[in-house]
Amino acid sequence: MAVTSENRKRAEEAVARCRRLALFSEDSDRTRRTFLSAPMRDCHREIARWIEALGVAAWVDAAGNLRAFYPGAGTAARKLLVGSHLDTVPNAGAYDGILGVTLAVSLLEALDGRRLPFGIEVVGFSDEEGVRFGVPFIGSRALVGRLDEELLKVQDGRGISVRKAIEEFGLNPAEIPQACLNKETLGYIEFHIEQGPVLEKLGQPLAVVDSIAGQSRLEFMFVGRSNHAGTTPMDLRYDALAAAAEWITAVERAARSATGQVATVGNIEAKPGATNVIAGETRLTLDVRHGSDAIRIAAVKELVECAREIANRRKLRVEWKILLEQSAVPMDPFLAAEIERAIKKTGCAAHRMTSGAGHDAMILAEKVPAAMIFLRSPGGISHDPAESVAVEDVEKAIECGLHLLDQLAASSTLQSALVRS
């Protein structure tokens, strides 16, 4: 394995590369890089340049994912995927997703031509955030065969469909099936910043992700009656915004009632929206997450009943619809255990945790064993220009990754533990 001084240099380079990629943006003063936008092409070219310097060819598949294959020893056809996503949210930081790709390149560089019993495929997913089309995981869905005709018809704000965006990028939608994982794929490893404060609180640089929380997203609408704010007595009002406000506080109380549960009302819109008019209609969103599907589903049911009770008591109407229902996804036990061993070899404690955010790993887990390593997020900040990483933590991540590759290469149970029927 590479010595510490070399890993330090590679860590510094991985961080610098993230910052360079952040310059490829649809906005001149901040980072925004969405599915198959022009800056994504620049991003592909830059990463391909790093990879091809190692004698490894890079290509872009029909879903816009950047891929590169580092062959294994001899004629070994099996491969381990390592990567993350290259798209960003608006006004993004430099490390969410992108660090996982630069670390994958760092691991190839650290191997320095050494071949393992399996190949390594680096993958930079074209879309995880879902910013452009309102549908996340377009890139990783292609690898598991779920980039179907219905999704290809989805349009962005300018009326351009996913299919059209692929064609305008110079790719062929008819070749999307070729992007699917084959039976030789052993598994998927994703390095990612935590995007939260847990590791910082624990004083630890790395963690094993043992599951990704399930999510429920809903939209609610309270419907009352608009009227004059100055002439309508308080006891004769049917205020949709007041009902929504009461319900929001109930959401917060319910979220605190179960350890590990989070619930968020992230958007609220009152109509007609005038200072001197009682709101006759209020729309708002609900996002509930937990590592246990049973706890999450029970919480959503409770909050629906709570909304009904508030509406009935206030003589209003409430409607709701489900926007997303995503089950919790456990990470592969064998890979998680190997990551835990690798983290301990770096001299760090191997904390296990649930990811509250969604990741490409939860999509890949449908087809192959998947696992994740979290890196500490200073200040717990993500999805913001203030997002950062410590070079020392990135160095530990590289060391962990190299230990992991060596462990998997030496594992007599690799095939039985990783290959699914």
Tens of pLDDT, residue by residue over 369-379, are 999 999 999 99
Correct CATH for 214-326 of 3.30.70.20, 3.40.630.40, 3.30.70.360, 3.40.640.10: 3.30.70.360
Whether pLDDT at 417 is above 60: no
Whether pLDDT at 420 is above 70: no
How does pLDDT run across 6-23, given as a tens digit for each residue? 999 999 999 999 999 999
Same fold, 4-213+328-418 and 214-326: no
**Residue 5, phi-psi category: left (phi > 0), alpha (psi -120 to 50), beta (remainder):** alpha
Phi, psi for residue 18 in degrees, rounded to 5: -60, -45
Take residue 5 and report the two structure tokens written for it.
Answer: 């001084």
Q: What pLDDT is stored for residue 2 in this prediction?
A: 47
Q: How far apart are CA 377 and CA 115, in angstroms?
A: 33
Q: What pLDDT is stored for residue 418 in this prediction?
A: 46
**Whole-Å CA distances, 313 to 238, 310, 318, 319:** 10, 5, 11, 15
Whether pLDDT at 60 is above 70: yes
- State which H helix or E strand residue 242 sits in: helix 240-256
Amino acid 223 reads: V
Average pLDDT over all residues of the chain: 95
Q: How far apart are CA 264 and CA 300, in angstroms?
A: 12
Helix, strand, coil abundance in the chain, percent, nearest 5: 40, 25, 40
Classify domain 4-213+328-418 by CATH architecture: 3-Layer(aba) Sandwich (3.40)
Instruction: Collect contacts of 41-47 with beta carbons under 8 A, ≥24 apart.
Output: 41/169, 43/86, 43/124, 44/86, 44/124, 46/20, 46/21, 47/21, 47/86, 47/101, 47/105, 47/124
Q: What pLDDT is stored for residue 75 in this prediction?
A: 74
The string of DSSP letters for 48-93 reads HHHHHTTT--EEE-TTS-EEEEE--STT---EEEEEEE----TTB-
> How confident is residue 319, by pLDDT bands cut at 50, 70 and 90?
very high
Q: Judging by beta carbons within 10 Å of its beta carbon (0-12, 13-18, 19+), is residue 104 exposed, middle or buried?
A: buried
Q: How far apart are CA 327 and CA 294, in angstroms?
A: 10
How does pLDDT run across 77-121, given as a tens digit for each residue? 799 999 999 999 999 999 999 999 999 999 999 999 999 999 999
3-state secondary structure of 378: helix
Q: How far apart are CA 187 and CA 368, in angstroms?
A: 5
3-state secondary structure of 411: coil
How does pLDDT run across 190-200, given as a tens digit for each residue? 999 999 999 99
**Residue 379, phi-psi category: left (phi > 0), alpha (psi -120 to 50), beta (remainder):** left
Q: What pLDDT is stored for residue 5 in this prediction?
A: 82
Q: How far apart are CA 102 and CA 95, in angstroms?
A: 9
3-state secondary structure of 289: strand
How does pLDDT run across 218-272, given as a tens digit for each residue? 999 999 999 999 999 999 999 999 999 999 999 999 999 989 899 999 999 999 9
Q: What pLDDT is stored for residue 324 in this prediction?
A: 86
Q: What pLDDT is stored for residue 411 in this prediction?
A: 87
3-state secondary structure of 17: helix
Whether pLDDT at 35 is above 60: yes
- Greater model confidence, 74 or 339: 339
Q: Could you state, in order of their start, the residue ranges of all structural domains in the chain?
A: 4-213+328-418, 214-326
How does pLDDT run across 274-309, given as a tens digit for each residue? 999 999 999 999 999 999 999 999 999 999 999 999
Q: What pLDDT is stored for residue 288 in this prediction?
A: 97
